[in-house]
Structure 1
Amino acid sequence: MARAIWSGSLSFGLVNIPVKLFGAVSPKDVRFHMLHDADGGRIRLRRFCEVEDREVPYEHVVKGFEVGANRYVTVTREELEAYDPKATRTIEIHDFVELAGIDPVFFESTYYLVPERSAAKAYRLLGQAMRRAGKVGIATAVLRTRESLCCVRPSGEEALALSTMNRADEIVPASSLELPEAGGQPSERELAMAEQLVASLAGPFDPERYPDLRRQRILELVERKAEGQAIEAPQPEAGPAQVVSLADALAASLAAARGGGKAAGAGGEEERAAARPARAARRSAPPQAARTVASKRPRKRRA
């Protein structure tokens, strides 16, 4: 059962909807511990003072902002807490805008908003109104002592989602990039072939078609090593074929798409279909691996 990470209310105008916030994403990264190669012991990171050459207890660690070479301004926890925004426990919608008008670069993390039972009608009212208007809400909320800019939007047929957003001054504008100066323009034939290629590859978004093959292979490697199997290094994959010209690349890509395949170097569906989806769901090494490492550790004798 998922646990709420925040509770408060969602407001627009004078309407307040008691809601709870639940995580919408469960990262599946393969995480490893750092171990000593000689005995399998855990490697721990410690707070170490470079001046006194010794470990420092947490209660004597302060925050410092670098203002010059080896020059810092220290700030206490009490000073920082004085600037924390007031925890209003309210997600306040300020404006309604079109979702297409928001560049995806603004979005950070996404959560689900779930109403209290008594607020189900108001919750559905807001969702249906946004769906009919084709709008999403821009809001602010205090989450984890920080005021976050948020986007409240319909998700699925009934739910509302909340995505935290980057601020305007945090976005690197594309105009600041050193892009190549305008060179040769594509010909009408090249543009027509590119449009045909886009049309031939167009379809509804299906995230199941794009599994994390690297994560699956790493989990398989860990499981096989835990079972004591001999591991051989995989053969390097062949790189994409050399392209003579843009027109040739487009023509070859179109031929492959019309034939139901993929252009060279794009990756095959057979490889993805052969992946094991059950193992993709595992977030860490199987229990056998933990026991294998633990068995190598020498037991400490009590004095």
Structure 2
Amino acid sequence: MLDAKWLFRVILPVGILIFPIISWSVESEYETPVYREVEYHAVLIGINAYPGSYLPYSVNEIQNFKQTLLKCGNWFQSNIKVLIDGNATKQGVQESIEWLAENADEDDVSLIYFVGHGGRDLNGEFIVTYDGEIHDAELAEYISGVQGVVVVVIDACNSGGFIDELKGKNRVVLTACRGNERTYQVKELKSGIFGFFLNMSLSWFTKRVETTYMLTKMLSIYYSRSLGNNSEYVIHPQIYDGTIGFTKIINHHPYMDKIFTPSFLYVSQAKRDRVLWRMEGGV
């Protein structure tokens, strides 16, 4: 049984902090009327089965995010490509982004979401595919041919370092941590910390990239601080936004019937004995 004093002490302050973000998200629906039809396309990449460096929850995080998109009114199965484990090769990622370039026009929104190992070397930051590495400059080249708004989400160690290479007009980059930080997957969440709260924000509270980032960052920092005394567990999600106005990701979300479920309490239940997997690696 959850302690009533604990609920009041933790949930009320978090609720007070969240309310302005939710309100901003709702009000902004009326600030920028949409006069054109926007199509949404996504490439979702999750790797558990790295040779010699297993991560347990990358695929789960991607699959949960996909289900959130499909429930929200503006995403269709045919517009979402999912690359998992052995299919998430360097060539597979490149070809999937080429598919985005072939199908998205200047009015559309394209989303690239990677969950797996990341790292940095003398050539810059990189994400680790099933069979190799994609450096920040390479990923920037891949997405250069995609028209419209391109949103890149990276849940991996050192991911903040991608921003310098990926930034540009109509580009939005969300990362799990700073360029010099590591991030983690947590057994309790069955997800990366950043990815869990990103999905929760879109499922229940926010619709646009900007407000989703604000809430995700707040909850990720709060949760990661409670994982242990070592400050290396603390993550600081980052954003770059090269768009004008707001970028909508979803049309609607059924948060009213979920807001009081136990899942919402994860942000407040962190203890100091969590099982963690570091999302850092290379080949």
TM-score after normalising by structure 1:
0.18
Rg comparison, structure with higher value: 1
Q: Which has the higher contact order (CA 8 A, sep 6+)?
A: 2
Higher strand share: 1
